[in-house]
Structure 1
Amino acid sequence: MSTTHAYAVQSATSPFEPFRFDRREAGPNDVAIAIRYCGVCHSDLHTARSEWGGTRYPCVPGHEIVGEVTAVGDAVSRFKTGDLVGVGCMVDSCLTCDACRDGLEQYCEVGFTGTYNGPTQDTGDNTYGGYSDRIVVREEFVLRIRHGEERLAAVAPLLCAGITTWSPLRHWKVGPGKKVGIVGIGGLGHMGLKLADALGAHVVAFTTSRDKERDALALGADEVVVSRDAGAMEAHAGSFDFILNTVAAPHDLDAYLRLLKRDGTMTMVGVPAEPHPSPSIFNLVLKRRSLAGSLIGGIEETQEMLDFCAEHDIVSDIEMIAMRDIEEAYGRMLKSDVKYRFVIDIATIDEKG
């Protein structure tokens, strides 16, 4: 066992404080990683504050992890010491159910093991995430990073924000000739804009704020619609093949369902703490539209996404923070005061405030 330095919360109302715990040494199938950077996801906040329920304390969040391999087990064949690698939202699954065999470990029928907030597949113990200086993960859940080392911090959010938007864009075959809407320009939405644009779609960004129009165009949008402008929304009625809704707050879904073509789909990836108002069934049945959901992505498609992003020089837009500033970052995240993802420099984990 090796002592790991981390930051944790002890309850839903307590602040983050330094925390130490023991990580296992690398077993035969494991990869040990020195964490360099960890992205800050809204899911971290929801879990730390138990807004979704079921949080196991102490809680060490963080599932947008990049770092360097420091050791590998005897049976590991794909990684070696010194490799740059990533770890996303999962660190294990049963690997034998239909979903896992199909490369969709996020839908594991037993339940995947989250990078934090466990439970583990064997003992049911809690897992601790990337707000820490090291992690040990079985080889099957480690991703290869092909971006240059100077881009490493900005790669970190691809491990959640990137794959969460990539998976539905690929599943619903977004590409040239498709008109695609991205609802929300935040941590998820800004990646959706970049990826949909790189895939060759005609991309329309939806925002409640006219102030974000210039940013949305710079991120890859061909058009920007202020969703509070009824006339602007009506001008796009019945014209979208696909809409990716990234907003993590309850809102009127009918306003966007009416924009879909016959057989169009709106997929939800933002998960609010409170339910959305129920949409009208007529907006679905009259044009055979679909309202769908998507959860992160499997390991194979996450690697595909990382390789695509390396080829197209796509990374997240980030603001680097020290570990001691995580409480301030959470407060700013609640106010949408970040463009567009905080990333923790793990080298600061032992620094005093």
Structure 2
Amino acid sequence: MNFDGHSRVRTMKAAVVTGAGRIQTDTLALPTPTKNQVRIKLEGCGVCASNLGPWAGPEWMSFPTEPGSLGHEGWGFIDAIGEEVHDLDIGDRIAALSYHAYATYDIADQQAVVPLPPELAGHPFPGEPLGCAMNIFRRSQIGPGQTVAIVGIGFLGALLTQLAVAAGAHVIAISRRWFSLDVALKAGASAAIPMQDHWQIIDEVKGLTQGRFCDCAIEAVGKQWPLDLAAELTKERGRLIIAGYHQDSPRQVNMQLWNWRGLDVVNAHEREPAVYLSGMRDAVQAVLDGRMNPSPLYTHWFPLEELDTALDMTRDRPDGFLKALVRYP
């Protein structure tokens, strides 16, 4: 038997990408959760930089997209449950790992749902990127007294700055935008360096670390130059963490440098749903503990009908921008 908490509601809104840089908003029938599934009345969804590849309309992309697809950072309330769903009830506020969340409703497996405690009521919680930050932080093995370079202070880099500072590390923030560097300093970074000149940055970090360089360098941009830079900033037997999204083209690496310094290189992109969910649960606790505070990092909000503007802004990253959220009525 399916239990529906809002039986009078029969339709939903969903964004459809119709071509490169183009969307429309369709009205559709509500989906029905089946065995082990829940339906979520979404409050909102984060806009992810991984959407930008499909948004640009590459040859491999097919249009139109499925309604709501590309959206995977949703949160909201359970509004219907399918058979054999346990420990979840209608009205529970949750974050979910679902894949059609550019819509007012979505379906998720019960195993892909993370309950949100009452202390987070009213606070947006795009679980997937927050969980991603926690998993990257875990794999970075950052501890008290370590020096950590974070190359790229966007939403992810700002979260990692907060977590590293809370762990007692000394953070050197590197970003091309003064706005982002200011965000990092307010989060407790020990130093902030504009990402302008490759060798000047290396010399400055060398001076800040008395020639030792960094115990850990996290590359959070997803481009060739920041990847090269992060490797140069990592000390001998240090840890180079690849957190940027490298899906636009192949990369070259300086294997001579990596080998000579004996670097531990970690590709921190997880693919196991269970690991994502573990990170999301850790993110809930980190927010409750005060080790992570994402709220001031949500800089721009849009209605579903303006998802195209949100995606363009995520691509162009104007001054003052860190993270866009799409919010539903």
Task: Please say whether Structure 1 and Structure 2 have the same fold, judged by a TM-score greater than 0.5.
Answer: yes
RMSD after superposition:
2.5
In structure 1, what is the Cα distance between the partners aligned to 2:104 and 2:35?
21
Q: Matched residue of 1:309: which SS? A: helix
- 1:82 aligned residue: 91
Partner of 1:46: 53
> Structure 1 residues 288 and 83 mapped into 2: Cα distance closer, same or farther (>3 Å)?
same
CA distance in 2, matches of 1:54, 1:80: 37
Deviation at 1:8, TM superposition (A): 0.8
Equivalent residue, structure 1, for 2:109 = 138
SS at match of 2:72: coil
C-alpha distance in structure 2 between counterparts of 1:325 and 1:24, whole Å: 23
Candidates 13, 22, 27, aligned match of 1:5: 13
In structure 2, the CA distance between the partners of 1:64 and 1:77, relative to structure 1 (3 Å rule), is same
The answer to whether residue 76 in structure 2 is matched with residue 73 in structure 1 is no
Q: Which runs of 5+ in 2 are unaligned?
A: 3-9, 207-211
Matched residue type, 2:12: T
Name which of 22, 28, 43 aligns with 2:35. 28
Q: Distance in 2 between matches of 1:148 and 1:80?
A: 18
State the TM-score, normalizing by the size of structure 2: 0.83
Amino acid at match of 1:321: F
* In structure 1, C-alpha distance between the alignment counterparts of 2:159 and 2:112, rounded to whole Å: 22
* Change over 3 Å in CA distance of 1:17–1:251 after alignment to 2: same
The answer for the alignment partner of 2:316 in structure 1 is: 335
Q: Is the 8 A contact 1:4 1:23 kept in 2?
A: yes
Q: Deviations over 1:117-144 (max 9, x none)?
A: xxxxxxxxxxxx1110111211100111
Alignment of 1:180-329 (within 5 A): 180-229=148-197, 230-237=199-206, 238-275=212-249, 278-296=252-270, 297-312=275-290, 314-316=293-295, 317-318=297-298, 319-329=300-310
In structure 1, what is the Cα distance between the partners aligned to 2:306 and 2:161?
28
| 2:215 maps to amino acid | D
Equivalent position amino acid for 1:10 in 2: T
Q: What's 2:209 paired with? A: none
Cα offsets for 1:310-339 (capped at 9, x unmatched): 221622411211222222222222221253
List runs of 5+ in structure 1 lacking aligned partners.
92-114, 116-128, 348-353
Aligned length: 304
2:248 partner letter: E
CA contact (8 A) 2:38 2:78 kept: yes
CA distance in 2, matches of 1:267, 1:22: 44
Identity %: 19
Give me the TM-score of the superposition, normalised by structure 1.
Answer: 0.78
Opposite residue 327 of structure 2, the aligned amino acid is D
